[in-house]
Amino acid sequence: MKKHAIIYDRASTSSQKDNYSRVNAREVGIRIAEREGYTWEYVREVGSGTTLTGRPKMLRILDRIAAGEIQALIVQDLDRLARPEEAVVYNTIRQTLLDYGVIIYTHTSRIDLANEDDDFLADIQMTLAKRERRLILKRMHRGRVVRIEQGRFGGGTVPLGMKLVYVHDASGKPTSELAVDEEEAETVRAVFDALEATGGNLWATALRLNEQGFTGKQGGRFAPNTIRKIAGNRIYIGILESKLTDKIIHRPELQIISVEQFERVQALIASRRRRPGDRGRRGRYVLTGFVTCGTCGGPMVAEKNVGRAVCYVCITRREGGEKACPRGKTYAEHLVLPPIIAFIADLIQNQIDFDAALDDAARRYGKSITEEAYEAAVQGELASVRAGKARLVDAISTGVLTQEEAAAKLGELREQERRLIAELSSISEKARVREEWEKAVESLKGCDITASLHRLAESNPVAFRRLLGLVFKPNSLRVRTYRVKGNSWAGELQGYELTDEIQMCLSFDNDNSVGGK
């Protein structure tokens, strides 16, 4: 039987995913796999080494290892598996590899964790990597703070409208500094002008800028969240600030927008913010994200009309006006929901093994063997961290640690505790979603499937939306309303796109199902 290896290449951020080391990781990994006689596949993932729940590809690899599909894991260095300081993540991965006899290959060594010497060597490598990383981070932090307090750029993402130029500091050493990029500065001015013209409407501003051909820093289209970040960045009025220090530096040469215009825009955006009580409860509007405008094909959003009936209106028309969508559509939910439910009911009753499809969907939200082991490890590590916090008090009282040393250690433990709690919360969310699915499946049992679907939409809209997501692709439902007689109206489902899972379950030819009627 041919042995199989995974060449696993993790980049911490998307900005690192295409640099030279990624190419090198693949090429060297292939040479190792072929030299050792493995079939191979290359898996690249963008995700922090501090977590497992945020790395679905690594979780899938661990599950495949447990299933006996993988015999070797090839990485550039051991810290590509996990950050050295995150013991719970590394230990979960290490234990899975050890339990199933998987060999680790780095670009410089072969590690068999079942061999005591190799296991000891791996521990030493991770310990050294942990120490080196801490030293690097401390030096970087100190350097960034010093640069910021001197009024210089502290590093990170360069804002739109700015560029890095290289100058020499007082000692003659080359260093990078921020300067205005005049070409991009025109885009920044266009953003603020558009925000004033639209009354602080982020959607309409993004739409207007995209139509006018403006692009972001990386050449992409504008989105509302991007507009919000630009509008709130005080560097455009010449103020340099950072979360690393309380010091605020005035850099007038970086100013692009007048202070008066900046403050007007902030007031406009603030005036449009909804109060918490204005928002419908999560998932109440079941067709948002599925129904599209019959004129422009754009997404639709729910709103309540004078009679308190739920309607879906074209976002493009609402945010961009008649010019953006000349005949923006409005659909009443009580007219278009019944034909959609009738379509799903027909699928369930006549065309597919829907129980199997629902069970498959529910399994996606269940915890795998790897995740169960990881959850137990996280809980154990969290208990250890909390015990460590308690022991700090004894260390201070007995004079083992000074007040300053204890404060620094307490800060580390609190940060570690925060990350572990976030991990447990992520795992718990999957369990909650699975419980929703099980309730949804139970509610659909019975003879009258159409009535059951109507009840589900009314009583548990979140679960009903998950059901829609199982059947239809996002923004793929094309509907229309028409007059039947007098003031009597009805709705019709004109077109749709089914998800790949549902198409696989269909008993009739798939070519006739894609795109619907």
Q: What are the pLDDT digits (tens) for 138-163? A: 777 777 777 777 777 777 788 899 99
Which residue range(s) make up the domain with 361? 335-368+432-512
Q: What is the pLDDT of residue 397?
A: 65
- Our measurement of the distance from residue 336's CA atom to the centroid of its chain's CA atoms, rounded to an integer in Å, reads 31
Q: What is the pLDDT of residue 61?
A: 92
- Which CATH number does the domain housing residue 241 bear? 3.90.1750.20
pLDDT band at 34 (very low <50, low <70, confident <90, very high): very high
- What residues contact 139, with CB distance under 8 A and at least 6 apart? none
Question: 348 and 451 share a domain?
Answer: yes
pLDDT band at 283 (very low <50, low <70, confident <90, very high): low
Q: Which region among 277-281, 392-396, 493-497 has the lowest average model confidence (pLDDT)?
A: 277-281
Question: 463 and 355 share a domain?
Answer: yes
As a whole number, mean pLDDT of residues 443-457 equals 73
**CA–CA distance from 180 to each of 195, 227, 262, 409, 495 (Å)?**
21, 19, 17, 41, 49
Q: Are strands 38-46 and 3-11 parallel, antiparallel or unpaired?
A: parallel
pLDDT band at 434 (very low <50, low <70, confident <90, very high): low
Question: 188 and 108 share a domain?
Answer: no
Q: Residue 514 pLDDT > 70, yes or no?
A: no
Question: 28 and 123 share a domain?
Answer: yes
For the chain, what percent of residues have pLDDT higher than 90? 21
Q: Which region among 430-444, 447-461, 477-491 has the lowest average model confidence (pLDDT)?
A: 430-444
Say if 143 falls within a structural domain.
no
pLDDT band at 278 (very low <50, low <70, confident <90, very high): very low
pLDDT digits (tens, 9 = 90+) for 218-232: 888 888 889 999 999
Overall domain count for the chain: 3
What gap in Å lies between CA 25 and CA 197, rounded to an integer? 49
Q: Which region among 24-28, 338-342, 356-360 has the lowest average model confidence (pLDDT)?
A: 356-360
Question: 251 and 359 share a domain?
Answer: no
pLDDT digits (tens, 9 = 90+) for 348-366: 776 655 555 555 555 555 5
- Which CATH number does the domain housing residue 127 bear? 3.40.50.1390
Question: 125 and 186 share a domain?
Answer: no
Say if 27 falls within a structural domain.
yes
What gap in Å lies between CA 144 and CA 242, rounded to an integer? 10
Say if 151 falls within a structural domain.
no
Q: What is the pLDDT of residue 450?
A: 82
Q: What is the pLDDT of residue 488?
A: 84
Q: Residue 87 pLDDT > 80, yes or no?
A: no
Helices H, strands E: what count in the chain?
Answer: 16, 15
Closest to 6 measured CA to CA, from 30, 27, 37, 36: 30
Structure tokens at 259: 């202070």
Q: What is the pLDDT of residue 22?
A: 57
Work out the mean pLDDT of the chain and round it to a whole number. Answer: 78
Domain finish residue from 250, 271, 292: 271
Domain finish residue from 102, 117, 134: 134
Q: Are strands 103-105 and 110-111 parallel, antiparallel or unpaired?
A: antiparallel
Say if 343 falls within a structural domain.
yes
Question: 252 and 363 share a domain?
Answer: no
Question: 250 and 350 share a domain?
Answer: no
- Our measurement of the distance from residue 264's CA atom to the centroid of its chain's CA atoms, rounded to an integer in Å, reads 32
Q: What is the pLDDT of residue 192?
A: 95
What gap in Å lies between CA 25 and CA 106, rounded to an integer? 10
What gap in Å lies between CA 144 and CA 54, rounded to an integer? 28
Say if 418 falls within a structural domain.
no
Q: Residue 167 pLDDT > 90, yes or no?
A: no
Say if 161 falls within a structural domain.
no
Q: What is the pLDDT of residue 439?
A: 61
Q: Which region among 233-242, 313-322, 499-508 has the lowest average model confidence (pLDDT)?
A: 499-508
Question: 353 and 501 share a domain?
Answer: yes
Say if 107 falls within a structural domain.
yes
Q: What is the pLDDT of residue 372?
A: 67
Structure tokens at 70: 């993988």
**CA–CA distance from 245 to each of 149, 255, 400 (Å)?**
8, 21, 31
What gap in Å lies between CA 464 and CA 345, rounded to an integer? 13
What gap in Å lies between CA 63 and CA 415, rounded to an integer? 29
Say if 109 falls within a structural domain.
yes
Question: 349 and 451 share a domain?
Answer: yes
Question: 218 and 109 share a domain?
Answer: no
As a whole number, mean pLDDT of residues 470-481 equals 89
Q: What is the pLDDT of residue 436?
A: 58
Q: What is the pLDDT of residue 466?
A: 79
Q: Residue 131 pLDDT > 50, yes or no?
A: yes
Q: What is the pLDDT of residue 430?
A: 60
Q: What phi, psi does 149 have (nearest 5°)? A: -70, -20
Q: What is the pLDDT of residue 368?
A: 57
For the chain, what percent of residues have pLDDT higher than 70? 77
